[in-house]
Amino acid sequence: MTEQSTKERIILAAIDLVHERGYQGATTKAIAERAGVNEVTLFRHFGNKKGIMKAAIDTFSIPDHLLQTIDAQLRWDLEHDLPFLVRQYHEIVEQKEQVILISLKEAGTFPELDELIAHIPTMYKEKIKTYFEQMVADGKIRKEDPETLATSFIYMNFGYFFLKNRIDASKGPIQLDSFIENDIALFIRSIQ
């Protein structure tokens, strides 16, 4: 086994166990067993359980190249850009679903974990805030606080992510295209 594959196995085992048992219930011994490594190997790579969770969060954070891709695709047109940003956001959060669910499950119970997890949406929010600052400066949207606009946009998206399978489950999940055509279109109209 290579060092990278060992680290990856430990990270994935930690995510699974924290998701199943909670942070306190996922012991380093159990993580090592699930990953198929000796507990000493876990400590050598990460130092402690917090180190594993930090690595998991770093692994599942927004990569710089994605932010560069977003920059390259923006047209500074709300009707193109906001649906594009929604699709990018949901691509990211779908890949990180377990880490996000862990952050919700463990919120407030372990302050150091809360602090680590708080960094996940920060880069994305800053990107959206910068976008709205430029749109306000260019007169392309109403003069509103870019921080508030970015926060509202992210809340809408996170709400969709979290509730799409839970609201009226008998009809199946709310489709992303429907969310964009209805909810995001309403948001766009509200700020034009």
Evaluate if residue 181 carries a pLDDT over 50.
yes
The residues of the chain that CATH labels 1.10.357 are 64-191
Predicted pLDDT at 133: 98
| Mean per-residue pLDDT over the chain, rounded | 86
Q: Is residue 1 over pLDDT 50?
A: no
pLDDT at 31 (0 to 100): 97
Write down the residue that tokens 């949406």 correspond to.
121
The number of helices, as runs of H, and strands, as runs of E, in the chain is 12, 0
- pLDDT, position 106: 74
Note whether 78 and 86 are within 8 A (CB). no
Query: 10-17, long-range: CB within 8 Å, 24+ apart, which pairs?
Result: 10/35, 10/37, 10/41, 10/42, 10/45, 10/46, 10/52, 11/52, 11/55, 11/56, 11/59, 14/49, 14/52, 14/53, 14/56, 15/56, 15/98, 15/99, 15/102, 16/98
What is the C-alpha to C-alpha distance for residues 173 and 55, in angstroms, rounded to an integer? 32
Residue range 161-181: average pLDDT? 81
CATH code for the structural domain at 64-191:
1.10.357
Task: Report, as an integer, the average pLDDT of 30-53.
Answer: 95
pLDDT above 90 covers a percentage of the chain that reads 52
Residues of the chain with CATH 1.10.10.60: 3-59
- pTM for the model stands at 0.74
Q: Looking at residue 37, what is its pLDDT?
A: 96
CATH topology of domain 3-59: Arc Repressor Mutant, subunit A (1.10.10)
